[in-house]
Amino acid sequence: MHQPGTVCVLDDLGTLRFSGPDAEKFLQGQLSNDVSALSAAALLRAGVHNPQGRTLALLGLIAADGGDILALLPRELLAVITPLLRRYVLRAKLTISDLTMEHRVYGLASPDACPEAAGRRIAYGALGQQRMLLLQSMGEPAPQGATMSRDHWRALDIAAGLPQVYGATSGQFVAQMLNLDCIDAISFTKGCYTGQEVIARAHYRGRIKRRLQRFSSRAAPRLAAGDSGRLDDGRSFRVVEALPHADGSCEFLAVAALPGAAAETDEGGQAPGQGLAFSALPLPYPLPD
Protein backbone atom coordinates (compact mmCIF):
# COMPACT_ATOMS: atom_id res chain seq x y z
CA MET A 1 0.00 0.00 0.00
CA HIS A 2 2.76 2.42 0.92
CA GLN A 3 5.15 2.47 -2.02
CA PRO A 4 8.58 3.99 -1.38
CA GLY A 5 9.75 6.78 -3.66
CA THR A 6 11.62 10.04 -3.67
CA VAL A 7 8.95 12.74 -4.11
CA CYS A 8 5.67 13.27 -2.25
CA VAL A 9 3.18 15.98 -3.19
CA LEU A 10 2.06 17.65 0.04
CA ASP A 11 -0.97 19.36 -1.43
CA ASP A 12 -2.82 19.22 1.89
CA LEU A 13 -0.51 21.93 3.27
CA GLY A 14 -1.22 25.65 3.00
CA THR A 15 1.22 28.55 3.12
CA LEU A 16 0.93 31.81 5.06
CA ARG A 17 3.37 34.69 4.62
CA PHE A 18 4.07 37.16 7.41
CA SER A 19 5.44 40.34 5.85
CA GLY A 20 6.68 43.57 7.40
CA PRO A 21 9.24 44.84 9.90
CA ASP A 22 7.28 43.44 12.86
CA ALA A 23 6.86 39.90 11.48
CA GLU A 24 9.33 38.24 13.87
CA LYS A 25 8.25 40.27 16.89
CA PHE A 26 4.60 39.48 16.21
CA LEU A 27 5.12 35.73 15.90
CA GLN A 28 7.40 35.74 18.94
CA GLY A 29 4.39 36.88 20.97
CA GLN A 30 2.01 34.32 19.46
CA LEU A 31 3.91 31.05 19.05
CA SER A 32 5.47 28.57 21.46
CA ASN A 33 8.95 28.46 19.91
CA ASP A 34 11.73 31.05 19.71
CA VAL A 35 11.24 32.63 16.31
CA SER A 36 14.63 34.36 16.54
CA ALA A 37 16.18 30.91 15.93
CA LEU A 38 14.55 30.73 12.49
CA SER A 39 16.66 29.97 9.42
CA ALA A 40 16.08 29.65 5.70
CA ALA A 41 17.48 26.11 5.59
CA ALA A 42 15.59 24.26 8.33
CA LEU A 43 11.97 23.99 9.41
CA LEU A 44 11.18 25.45 12.84
CA ARG A 45 8.12 23.90 14.44
CA ALA A 46 5.92 26.01 16.70
CA GLY A 47 2.44 25.82 18.14
CA VAL A 48 -0.43 28.29 18.12
CA HIS A 49 -2.21 27.93 21.46
CA ASN A 50 -5.27 29.27 23.20
CA PRO A 51 -5.01 30.89 26.65
CA GLN A 52 -5.56 27.47 28.26
CA GLY A 53 -2.37 26.18 26.60
CA ARG A 54 -4.20 23.90 24.18
CA THR A 55 -2.75 23.56 20.71
CA LEU A 56 -4.86 25.10 17.96
CA ALA A 57 -2.37 24.45 15.16
CA LEU A 58 1.21 23.42 14.50
CA LEU A 59 3.17 25.63 12.11
CA GLY A 60 6.32 24.83 10.18
CA LEU A 61 8.20 28.13 9.92
CA ILE A 62 10.73 29.10 7.25
CA ALA A 63 12.69 32.35 6.96
CA ALA A 64 11.90 34.12 3.70
CA ASP A 65 13.45 37.05 1.84
CA GLY A 66 13.44 40.53 3.36
CA GLY A 67 12.77 39.36 6.90
CA ASP A 68 9.44 37.80 5.95
CA ILE A 69 8.40 34.45 7.42
CA LEU A 70 6.53 31.59 5.77
CA ALA A 71 4.37 29.18 7.75
CA LEU A 72 3.17 25.77 6.58
CA LEU A 73 0.06 24.23 8.13
CA PRO A 74 -2.85 22.00 7.07
CA ARG A 75 -5.09 23.74 4.55
CA GLU A 76 -8.15 22.81 6.54
CA LEU A 77 -7.01 25.09 9.38
CA LEU A 78 -6.28 28.17 7.26
CA ALA A 79 -9.81 29.53 7.58
CA VAL A 80 -9.54 29.40 11.38
CA ILE A 81 -5.91 30.27 12.11
CA THR A 82 -5.54 33.13 9.62
CA PRO A 83 -8.30 35.34 11.10
CA LEU A 84 -7.25 34.33 14.62
CA LEU A 85 -3.72 35.64 14.08
CA ARG A 86 -4.94 38.73 12.22
CA ARG A 87 -7.03 39.61 15.26
CA TYR A 88 -3.82 40.20 17.22
CA VAL A 89 -2.02 42.32 14.62
CA LEU A 90 -3.47 45.58 16.01
CA ARG A 91 -0.86 48.31 15.34
CA ALA A 92 1.96 45.97 14.35
CA LYS A 93 3.57 46.68 10.98
CA LEU A 94 2.61 43.35 9.56
CA THR A 95 0.61 41.76 6.76
CA ILE A 96 -0.58 38.14 6.84
CA SER A 97 -1.19 36.72 3.37
CA ASP A 98 -2.46 33.32 2.25
CA LEU A 99 -0.08 32.20 -0.50
CA THR A 100 -1.36 28.63 -0.75
CA MET A 101 -2.32 29.02 -4.41
CA GLU A 102 1.08 30.52 -5.23
CA HIS A 103 3.24 27.74 -3.79
CA ARG A 104 3.60 24.00 -4.06
CA VAL A 105 5.14 21.90 -1.32
CA TYR A 106 6.89 18.59 -1.92
CA GLY A 107 8.41 16.11 0.45
CA LEU A 108 11.76 14.65 -0.57
CA ALA A 109 12.93 11.30 0.76
CA SER A 110 16.54 12.44 1.19
CA PRO A 111 18.77 15.51 0.79
CA ASP A 112 20.05 14.10 -2.52
CA ALA A 113 16.62 13.54 -4.07
CA CYS A 114 15.88 15.44 -7.31
CA PRO A 115 19.04 17.59 -7.39
CA GLU A 116 17.90 19.34 -10.56
CA ALA A 117 14.61 20.58 -9.09
CA ALA A 118 14.17 24.35 -8.76
CA GLY A 119 12.92 25.84 -5.49
CA ARG A 120 13.90 26.20 -1.87
CA ARG A 121 15.02 23.13 0.08
CA ILE A 122 14.32 22.99 3.79
CA ALA A 123 15.56 20.35 6.23
CA TYR A 124 12.46 18.68 7.64
CA GLY A 125 14.12 17.85 10.94
CA ALA A 126 12.44 14.50 11.56
CA LEU A 127 14.37 12.65 14.24
CA GLY A 128 16.37 9.77 12.81
CA GLN A 129 15.42 10.71 9.25
CA GLN A 130 16.98 12.92 6.57
CA ARG A 131 13.89 14.10 4.73
CA MET A 132 13.62 17.50 3.08
CA LEU A 133 10.87 19.85 1.93
CA LEU A 134 10.94 21.50 -1.46
CA LEU A 135 9.01 24.76 -1.70
CA GLN A 136 8.30 25.94 -5.24
CA SER A 137 6.51 28.88 -6.77
CA MET A 138 3.74 28.01 -9.20
CA GLY A 139 5.15 27.76 -12.70
CA GLU A 140 8.39 26.08 -11.73
CA PRO A 141 8.77 22.56 -13.19
CA ALA A 142 7.76 19.83 -10.78
CA PRO A 143 10.61 17.67 -9.44
CA GLN A 144 11.23 14.49 -11.39
CA GLY A 145 11.48 11.32 -9.37
CA ALA A 146 9.67 8.22 -8.24
CA THR A 147 6.43 9.18 -6.52
CA MET A 148 6.09 8.62 -2.80
CA SER A 149 2.49 8.24 -1.64
CA ARG A 150 1.10 10.63 0.93
CA ASP A 151 0.43 7.62 3.14
CA HIS A 152 4.09 6.64 3.00
CA TRP A 153 5.12 10.17 4.05
CA ARG A 154 2.58 9.97 6.87
CA ALA A 155 4.02 6.62 7.96
CA LEU A 156 7.45 8.26 8.24
CA ASP A 157 5.93 11.06 10.35
CA ILE A 158 4.33 8.50 12.65
CA ALA A 159 7.61 6.59 12.97
CA ALA A 160 9.35 9.89 13.84
CA GLY A 161 6.73 10.67 16.49
CA LEU A 162 5.77 13.91 14.75
CA PRO A 163 2.25 15.08 15.61
CA GLN A 164 -0.01 17.15 13.41
CA VAL A 165 -3.13 19.06 14.39
CA TYR A 166 -6.24 18.99 12.23
CA GLY A 167 -9.72 20.41 12.53
CA ALA A 168 -10.82 17.35 14.50
CA THR A 169 -8.05 17.78 17.10
CA SER A 170 -7.56 21.55 17.22
CA GLY A 171 -7.80 22.73 20.82
CA GLN A 172 -7.89 19.20 22.26
CA PHE A 173 -4.40 18.89 23.76
CA VAL A 174 -2.07 20.90 25.97
CA ALA A 175 1.29 21.34 24.20
CA GLN A 176 3.18 18.68 26.17
CA MET A 177 0.49 16.09 25.49
CA LEU A 178 1.62 16.30 21.85
CA ASN A 179 5.29 16.01 22.89
CA LEU A 180 6.03 19.47 21.53
CA ASP A 181 8.71 19.75 24.20
CA CYS A 182 10.37 16.62 22.78
CA ILE A 183 10.48 17.75 19.15
CA ASP A 184 11.89 21.25 19.78
CA ALA A 185 8.60 23.06 19.20
CA ILE A 186 8.60 24.90 22.56
CA SER A 187 11.07 27.34 24.05
CA PHE A 188 10.99 27.74 27.82
CA THR A 189 13.41 30.68 27.80
CA LYS A 190 11.69 33.10 25.41
CA GLY A 191 9.19 35.75 26.43
CA CYS A 192 5.46 35.50 26.85
CA TYR A 193 3.06 34.14 24.25
CA THR A 194 -0.56 33.05 24.28
CA GLY A 195 -0.90 29.97 26.50
CA GLN A 196 2.63 30.32 27.88
CA GLU A 197 1.62 30.39 31.54
CA VAL A 198 -0.18 27.03 31.39
CA ILE A 199 2.54 25.38 29.30
CA ALA A 200 5.32 26.66 31.58
CA ARG A 201 3.47 25.55 34.71
CA ALA A 202 3.08 22.04 33.31
CA HIS A 203 6.80 22.00 32.53
CA TYR A 204 8.13 23.26 35.85
CA ARG A 205 5.60 22.07 38.39
CA GLY A 206 4.12 18.80 37.31
CA ARG A 207 4.59 15.61 35.37
CA ILE A 208 2.40 15.25 32.31
CA LYS A 209 0.39 12.07 32.81
CA ARG A 210 -1.00 11.84 29.25
CA ARG A 211 1.34 12.03 26.29
CA LEU A 212 1.60 11.22 22.62
CA GLN A 213 2.58 7.58 22.11
CA ARG A 214 2.94 5.28 19.12
CA PHE A 215 0.80 2.17 18.78
CA SER A 216 -0.14 -0.57 16.37
CA SER A 217 -3.52 -2.22 16.62
CA ARG A 218 -3.81 -5.91 15.88
CA ALA A 219 -7.24 -5.38 14.37
CA ALA A 220 -9.31 -2.24 14.48
CA PRO A 221 -11.93 -0.22 12.70
CA ARG A 222 -10.43 2.45 10.51
CA LEU A 223 -8.96 5.06 12.86
CA ALA A 224 -8.62 8.75 12.02
CA ALA A 225 -7.44 11.91 13.78
CA GLY A 226 -9.86 12.85 16.54
CA ASP A 227 -11.20 9.33 17.11
CA SER A 228 -11.23 8.16 20.70
CA GLY A 229 -11.37 4.75 22.27
CA ARG A 230 -9.90 2.51 24.91
CA LEU A 231 -6.90 0.21 24.81
CA ASP A 232 -7.27 -3.30 26.16
CA ASP A 233 -5.13 -2.38 29.19
CA GLY A 234 -7.85 0.08 30.27
CA ARG A 235 -6.24 3.34 29.08
CA SER A 236 -8.36 5.72 27.01
CA PHE A 237 -6.81 7.30 23.93
CA ARG A 238 -7.47 9.97 21.34
CA VAL A 239 -5.94 9.61 17.90
CA VAL A 240 -3.59 12.32 16.61
CA GLU A 241 -2.43 10.63 13.38
CA ALA A 242 -3.30 7.22 11.96
CA LEU A 243 -2.50 4.99 9.02
CA PRO A 244 -4.52 1.83 8.32
CA HIS A 245 -2.77 -1.15 6.74
CA ALA A 246 -4.13 -3.61 4.19
CA ASP A 247 -4.13 -6.44 6.75
CA GLY A 248 -6.65 -4.59 8.93
CA SER A 249 -4.15 -3.36 11.47
CA CYS A 250 -3.51 0.32 12.07
CA GLU A 251 -0.41 2.24 13.12
CA PHE A 252 -1.22 5.42 14.98
CA LEU A 253 -0.07 8.21 17.25
CA ALA A 254 -2.44 8.85 20.12
CA VAL A 255 -2.52 10.73 23.39
CA ALA A 256 -2.99 8.30 26.26
CA ALA A 257 -1.98 7.88 29.88
CA LEU A 258 1.63 6.82 30.20
CA PRO A 259 2.27 3.12 30.93
CA GLY A 260 2.04 2.37 34.61
CA ALA A 261 -0.56 5.05 35.27
CA ALA A 262 -3.67 3.93 37.06
CA ALA A 263 -6.08 2.32 34.64
CA GLU A 264 -8.84 4.62 33.56
CA THR A 265 -12.45 3.55 33.32
CA ASP A 266 -15.23 5.18 31.39
CA GLU A 267 -18.75 5.80 32.64
CA GLY A 268 -19.65 2.22 31.86
CA GLY A 269 -16.88 0.93 34.08
CA GLN A 270 -14.99 -0.72 31.24
CA ALA A 271 -12.17 -2.88 32.58
CA PRO A 272 -8.83 -3.86 31.05
CA GLY A 273 -9.18 -6.55 28.41
CA GLN A 274 -12.31 -5.08 26.83
CA GLY A 275 -10.71 -2.46 24.62
CA LEU A 276 -8.57 -2.29 21.50
CA ALA A 277 -5.84 -4.95 21.29
CA PHE A 278 -2.57 -3.15 20.58
CA SER A 279 1.21 -3.24 20.58
CA ALA A 280 3.29 -0.34 21.85
CA LEU A 281 5.86 0.91 19.33
CA PRO A 282 8.98 2.95 20.17
CA LEU A 283 9.42 6.66 19.61
CA PRO A 284 12.80 7.97 18.42
CA TYR A 285 13.04 10.29 21.43
CA PRO A 286 12.67 9.75 25.19
CA LEU A 287 9.68 11.07 27.08
CA PRO A 288 10.48 13.22 30.12
CA ASP A 289 10.26 11.53 33.51
pLDDT in tens, 16-29: 999 999 999 999 99
100 shares its domain with 230: no
Task: For residue 101, give the nearest of 125, 75, 82, 80 by alpha carbon.
Answer: 75
pLDDT digits (tens, 9 = 90+) for 177-208: 999 999 999 999 998 999 999 999 988 887 78
Q: Does 200 share its domain with 259? A: yes
Q: How many structural domains are present in the chain? A: 2
Q: Among 135, 159, 183, where does a domain finish? A: 159
Let me know if residue 169 belongs to a domain: no
Hey, which residues does 251 pair with through a beta bridge?
Answer: 216, 243
143 & 48 share domain? yes
Tell me: do 149 and 246 sit in the same domain.
no
**What is the per-residue pLDDT across 258-287, written as a single tens digit (0 to 9) for each?**
987 654 444 344 555 578 999 999 999 999
Residues 182 and 253 placed together within one structural domain of the fold: yes
Amino acid letter, 262 = A
Q: How confident is the model over 160-173, as a mean pLDDT?
A: 98
In three-state form (DSSP H/G/I as H, E/B as E, the rest C), the secondary structure along 167-186 is CCCCCCCEHHHHCCCCCCCC
**So what's the pLDDT on residue 274?**
78
DSSP state of 286: P
Q: What is the CATH number of the domain that holds 201?
A: 2.40.30.160
By residue range, what is the domain housing residue 66? Answer: 7-159
181 assigned to some structural domain: yes
The answer on 100 and 23 residing in a single domain is yes
